[in-house]
Amino acid sequence: MQRMTALFSAALLTAGLMAVQAHAQDPAQDPATDPQQPQAAAPAQDFSDDQLQQFADASQDIAVISQEYTERLHAAEDEQTQQEVRMEANDKMVEVVEDSGLDVDTFNAIGHAIQQDPELMQRVQQMAEQS
């Protein structure tokens, strides 16, 4: 369950990342500036350019999935249906991540790293724009 929540959170982050790329940045809607995430600065991890590119590519697909399933989640009439929508979305996101060549833990680690490091976020955004 925690893995699902982490991936879903990462998906929401990447949806925010892609929204920043597509529109002018709005801090009120950017999950990367969420004040409810008072995490201590994580030790910097070295991710290869290939991993960052894989993250950027997967993030674009996940942003689309996240948007689609967020709409379905809001339309769900009861808790059971909402849980089914979340599980289906999670399965699709895991598939996208794994198809990109990353494992879920690495994808999530990169997602957390870009929350902590604006330069890394900008680098990943540039990679996403070029794909």
In this prediction, residues 84-105 reach a mean pLDDT of: 95
Q: DSSP strand E in 1-131: where?
A: none
Q: Residue 67 is which amino acid?
A: Q
Give the model confidence (pLDDT) of 14-62 as tens digits: 545 444 333 333 333 343 434 344 343 444 578 999 999 999 999 999 9
How is residue 31 annotated by DSSP? G
Q: Which two tokens stand for residue 36?
A: 């409810």
Residue 104, pLDDT > 80, answer yes
Residue 116, pLDDT > 90, answer yes
**Sequence-ordered list of residues with C-beta below 8 angstroms from that of 6, at least 6 positions apart, any chain:** 104, 108
Select the more confidently predicted residue: 65 or 3.
Answer: 65
Residue 105, pLDDT > 60, answer yes
Residue 1, pLDDT > 70, answer no
How is residue 32 annotated by DSSP? G
pLDDT category of residue 131 using cuts at 50, 70 and 90: confident
**Sequence-ordered list of residues with C-beta below 8 angstroms from that of 131, at least 6 positions apart, any chain:** 53, 56, 57, 60
pTM: 0.67
The pLDDT value recorded for residue 103 is: 94
How is residue 39 annotated by DSSP? P
Distance set, CA 124 to CA 11, 44, 102, 117 (Å): 15, 15, 15, 11
pLDDT category of residue 7 using cuts at 50, 70 and 90: low
Angle (nearest 5°) at CA 23 between 22 and 29: 110
Instruction: List the domain boundaries for the chain.
Output: 2-22+59-130
